[in-house]
């Protein structure tokens, strides 16, 4: 049987919006997109079951190119701290207070939030590995980037061995939907030796690579001149550090890391020269504007990236820094922040950021042949956003209504590869009440241990 998801608007992204449209799905794939009447004519009324979403917009599932599901229980726990303190408190809490089971509950709660927000694909950076399980259990599509750390060059071989044995285990469990990559965490937590070893490993094993890069002034100080709070932290811990005297992106280029075309998260401090290197290496960018603003890091040069056709998707980052996993809100903030910065009301239209949140993210993750638009032959990752509520009426243009008036709370249907994961308030693969209780308990434990 063919299901035709129908609504007042269908936004294929690859072509103009369709009024009274439908997306026909069979065996997890999109087989037709067009006006509902034409779809029924084409496929035969007896063969089609209509799933009518009413006054709503059906669009491709949202692609979140940067998250940390395991940190969901730290939402609101690290407010207003200086960045160095923020990282220290986060790491201390994660390692001292939370078991693997706790982190899995945290990741599942985050997955539930993401599914309800219409996020069908996640690129999740993870230390404990629990997001791999969370993705499998929740039915979402995604890649888990297994983190690696190590500032002492003498430990680099050991770190690589630890990482590769984890990767081998995850590789035996990858599916059509869930894959694994690696994440050398950041230039202030990974030695140059470890960066080189991990890059060679990724190229040899054809693994995707994700790195936090050019995020903060503390990071820039460490690399440029060996000054600032990260440099202080190194001295306190007795770690030898000779500043390379360049930017993060130039440093990664010198080490050969850009040869792996990494997904570079943040790039707030990317200069014109850095953007040249990103463009020439065809590296990709995860733009996380809300996280960058909330942590006081600044605004990444997205407009310059777009002029250079650098592949950039939108990421929410963890809810410890954001504080919601809401890609519609992220897209709206992206549009408004860059318009304010550029003093230009005409840049980044609703359709542009909607594209970034769908096919743009899919391209950044190398999944654009499979997802990101509503076109026959693609996998059926789609969502419906309610346009009938008072806060988005009257709707003149569906993309404007979604970006300027709606939020994650207006998503009422989430489908991944043809499977319904969420419909009208009810999650199909996860128990929301149980997860809410688990996360409340974790919050209490974290608070009482302070
Ligand atoms: Zn991050």
Query: Which SS3 state, helix, strand or coil, does residue 1 take?
Result: coil
What are the DSSP calls for 190-257, one per residue? Answer: B-HHHHHHHHHHHHHHT--BEEEES--HHHHHHHHTS-SHHHHHHHHTT------SS-HHHHHHHTTG
Give the domain CATH number at 52.
Answer: 2.30.40.10
Which of 337, 364, 391 corresponds to the end of one domain?
A: 364
Instruction: Please tell me the distance between residue 68's alpha carbon and the centre of ligand 1 in angstroms.
Output: 6
Q: How far is CA 163 from the centre of its chain?
A: 22
**Residue 10 CB partners (closer than 8 Å, separation 6+):** 17, 18, 21, 22, 23, 33, 57, 58, 59, 374
Q: Let me know whether 134 and 102 are in one domain.
A: yes
Instruction: Please tell me the distance between residue 407's alpha carbon and the centre of ligand 1 in angstroms.
Output: 22
Do 275 and 27 contact (CB within 8 A), yes or no?
no
Q: Let me know whether 194 and 325 are in one domain.
A: yes
Q: Let me know whether 310 and 175 are in one domain.
A: yes
- Tell me how far CA of residue 236 lies from CA of 52, 94, 101, 232, 241, in angstroms: 62, 22, 33, 6, 12
pLDDT value of residue 449: 80
Which of 312, 341, 364 corresponds to the end of one domain?
A: 364
Query: Which SS3 state, helix, strand or coil, does residue 124 take?
Result: strand
Instruction: Please tell me the distance between residue 21's alpha carbon and the centre of ligand 1 in angstroms.
Output: 37
Q: Let me know whether 341 and 208 are in one domain.
A: yes
Instruction: Please tell me the distance between residue 116's alpha carbon and the centre of ligand 1 in angstroms.
Output: 21
Question: Which structure tokens are listed for 315?
Answer: 């990421």
Question: Which structure tokens are listed for 206?
Answer: 């054809």
Residue spans of the chain under pLDDT 70: none
Q: Let me know whether 36 and 115 are in one domain.
A: no
Query: Would you say residue 373 lies in a domain?
Result: no
Instruction: Please tell me the distance between residue 26's alpha carbon and the centre of ligand 1 in angstroms.
Output: 36
Do 83 and 297 contact (CB within 8 A), yes or no?
yes
Query: Which SS3 state, helix, strand or coil, does residue 148 take?
Result: strand
Number of alpha carbons in the 13 Å side-chain half-sphere of residue 307: 8
pLDDT value of residue 87: 83
User: Which among 416, 423, 421 is positioned nearest to 121, based on CA atoms?
Assistant: 416
Instruction: Please tell me the distance between residue 319's alpha carbon and the centre of ligand 1 in angstroms.
Output: 10
Instruction: Please tell me the distance between residue 10's alpha carbon and the centre of ligand 1 in angstroms.
Output: 33
Do 291 and 265 contact (CB within 8 A), yes or no?
no
Do 269 and 217 contact (CB within 8 A), yes or no?
yes
- Residue 403's domain comprises 2-60+379-432
Instruction: Please tell me the distance between residue 301's alpha carbon and the centre of ligand 1 in angstroms.
Output: 18
**Residue 179 CB partners (closer than 8 Å, separation 6+):** 142, 143, 144, 208
Query: Would you say residue 437 lies in a domain?
Result: no
CB atoms within 10 A of CB 196: 17
Distance separating alpha carbons of residues 146 and 254, to the nearest angstrom: 23
Residue in the structure block whose two tokens are 């990767």 = 167
Give the domain CATH number at 358.
Answer: 3.20.20.140
User: Which among 61, 63, 58 is positioned nearest to 24, based on CA atoms?
Assistant: 58
Instruction: Please tell me the distance between residue 67's alpha carbon and the centre of ligand 1 in angstroms.
Output: 6
- Beta strands of 111-184 (E only): which ranges? 119-126, 141-148, 178-184
Q: Let me know whether 349 and 390 are in one domain.
A: no
Q: Let me know whether 70 and 40 are in one domain.
A: no
Query: Would you say residue 394 lies in a domain?
Result: yes
Q: Let me know whether 66 and 55 are in one domain.
A: no
Query: Which SS3 state, helix, strand or coil, does residue 128 take?
Result: coil
Instruction: Please tell me the distance between residue 190's alpha carbon and the centre of ligand 1 in angstroms.
Output: 15
> What does the pLDDT look like over 145-192, one tens digit per residue?
999 999 999 999 999 999 999 999 999 999 999 999 999 999 999 999
Q: Let me know whether 18 and 115 are in one domain.
A: no
pLDDT value of residue 88: 85
Q: Let me know whether 112 and 200 are in one domain.
A: yes
pLDDT value of residue 67: 98
pLDDT value of residue 60: 98
3-state secondary structure 315-338: CCCCCCCCCCCCHHHHHHHHHHHH
pLDDT value of residue 335: 98
Instruction: Please tell me the distance between residue 36's alpha carbon and the centre of ligand 1 in angstroms.
Output: 41
pLDDT value of residue 10: 98
Instruction: Please tell me the distance between residue 344's alpha carbon and the centre of ligand 1 in angstroms.
Output: 29
* DSSP classification of residue 390: G
The secondary element (H helix, E strand) that includes residue 39 is helix 36-43
Query: Would you say residue 444 lies in a domain?
Result: no
Instruction: Please tell me the distance between residue 88's alpha carbon and the centre of ligand 1 in angstroms.
Output: 14
Q: Looking at the 3D structure of the chain, how many domains does it have?
A: 2
Instruction: Please tell me the distance between residue 316's alpha carbon and the centre of ligand 1 in angstroms.
Output: 9
Residue in the structure block whose two tokens are 């969901």 = 72
Region of 166 on the Ramachandran plot (φ > 0 left; ψ -120 to 50 alpha; else beta): alpha
Residue in the structure block whose two tokens are 């998801």 = 5
Torsional sign, CA 438, 439, 441, 442: positive
Instruction: Please tell me the distance between residue 76's alpha carbon and the centre of ligand 1 in angstroms.
Output: 16
């Amino acid at each position: 049987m063919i299901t035709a998801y129908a609504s007042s608007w269908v936004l294929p992204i690859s072509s103009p919006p369709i009024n009274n449209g439908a997306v026909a799905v069979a065996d997890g794939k999109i087989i037709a997109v067009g006006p509902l009447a034409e779809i029924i004519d084409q496929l035969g009324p007896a063969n089609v079951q209509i799933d009518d979403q009413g006054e709503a917009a059906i669009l491709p599932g949202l692609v979140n190119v940067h998250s940390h599901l395991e940190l969901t229980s730290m939402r609101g726990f690290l407010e207003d701290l200086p960045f160095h303190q923020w990282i220290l408190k986060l790491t201390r809490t994660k390692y001292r207070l939370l078991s693997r089971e706790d982190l899995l509950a945290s990741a599942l709660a985050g997955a539930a939030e993401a599914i309800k927000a219409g996020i069908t694909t996640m690129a999740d950076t993870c230390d404990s590995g629990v997001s791999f399980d969370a993705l499998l259990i929740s039915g979402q599509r995604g890649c888990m980037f297994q983190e690696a750390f190590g500032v002492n060059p003498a430990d680099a071989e050991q770190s690589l061995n630890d990482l590769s044995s984890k990767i081998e285990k995850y590789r035996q469990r990858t599916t059509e939907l869930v894959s694994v990559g690696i994440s050398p965490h950041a230039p202030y937590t990974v030695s140059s030796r470890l960066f080189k070893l991990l890059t060679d490993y990724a190229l040899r094993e054809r693994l995707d690579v994700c790195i936090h890069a050019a995020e903060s002034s503390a990071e820039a100080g460490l690399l440029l001149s060996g000054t600032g709070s990260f440099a202080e932290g190194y001295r306190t811990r007795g770690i030898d550090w000779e500043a390379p005297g360049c930017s993060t992106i130039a440093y990664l280029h010198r080490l050969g890391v850009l040869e792996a075309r990494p997904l570079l998260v943040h790039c707030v401090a990317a200069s014109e020269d850095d953007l040249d290197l990103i463009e020439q290496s065809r590296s990709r960018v995860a733009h996380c504007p809300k996280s960058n603003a909330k942590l006081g890091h600044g605004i990444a040069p997205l407009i310059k990236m777009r002029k250079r056709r650098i592949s950039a998707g939108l990421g929410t980052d963890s809810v410890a820094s954001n504080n919601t996993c809401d890609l519609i809100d992220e897209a709206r903030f992206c549009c408004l922040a860059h318009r304010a910065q550029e003093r230009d009301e005409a840049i980044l239209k609703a359709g542009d950021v909607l594209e970034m949140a769908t096919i743009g993210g899919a391209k950044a993750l190398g999944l654009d042949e499979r997802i990101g638009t509503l076109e026959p032959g693609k996998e059926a990752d789609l969502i419906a956003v309610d346009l009938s509520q008072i806060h988005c009426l009257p709707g003149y243009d569906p993309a404007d209504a979604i970006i300027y008036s709606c939020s994650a709370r207006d998503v009422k249907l989430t489908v991944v590869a043809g499977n319904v994961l969420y419909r009208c308030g009810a999650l199909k693969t996860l128990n929301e009440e149980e997860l809410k209780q688990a996360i409340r308990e974790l919050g209490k434990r974290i608070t009482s241990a302070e």
